[in-house]
Amino acid sequence: MKFRTLLTTLCSFLGLTLGAQAATLEVGSPAPDITAVDQDGKSVSFKAVYEKGPTLVYFYPKADTPGCTKQACSLRDDWSEIKAKGIQVLGVSGDKPDSQKAFQDKYKLPFTLVADHDSKVADAFGVPHLGGFSKRQSFLIKDSKVVWVMPAASTATHSKDVLAAYEKLGK
């Protein structure tokens, strides 16, 4: 009987936690003006990044896990094409800066990784998360507005999906 009560309480808590999160940003929404820290512990103003040009903000559950590594490496492998389009990249997960730095160094990732250990960035974008693990989602930001959302971001083909979406937007 106690196990059943515990299980019911846990399920209720998890449901309330997930239900309390904001809805995912939609195309046309203003991009969140938020500040967080990167893999080096330096402050990153998302607004300042957006002002420099189109920006991919992608969320992944955990650094240096198989799917997240495929996703990051797909962006790394197509980096010259992504940069040629002027797209900046911010990878966001619930990892702390030292884990993000180790992930970046191990796979030679040429873009910024944001340490969202307090889930403030995920909350600002309306990305579901639980226990520090964000759902895999991607957003393209242009002129400080969300112009594309991938609600279930791919892993191995992530860069191709982003580049195709960017091409459809036109200049």
* 3-state secondary structure at position 10: helix
Q: Do 112 and 39 contact (CB within 8 A), yes or no?
A: yes
Alpha carbons 129 and 14: distance in angstroms, whole number: 11
User: Cβ atoms within 10 A of the Cβ of 80, count?
Assistant: 8
- Three-point CA angle 126, 132, 135, nearest 5°: 45
Cα distance from N-terminal residue to C-terminal residue, the chain: 62
Catalytic residues: 68
One-character DSSP codes across 73-132: HHHHHTHHHHHHTT-EEEEEES--HHHHHHHHHHHT--SEEEE-TT-HHHHHHT--EETT
- Output the DSSP codes for 36-50: EEETTS-EEEHHHHH
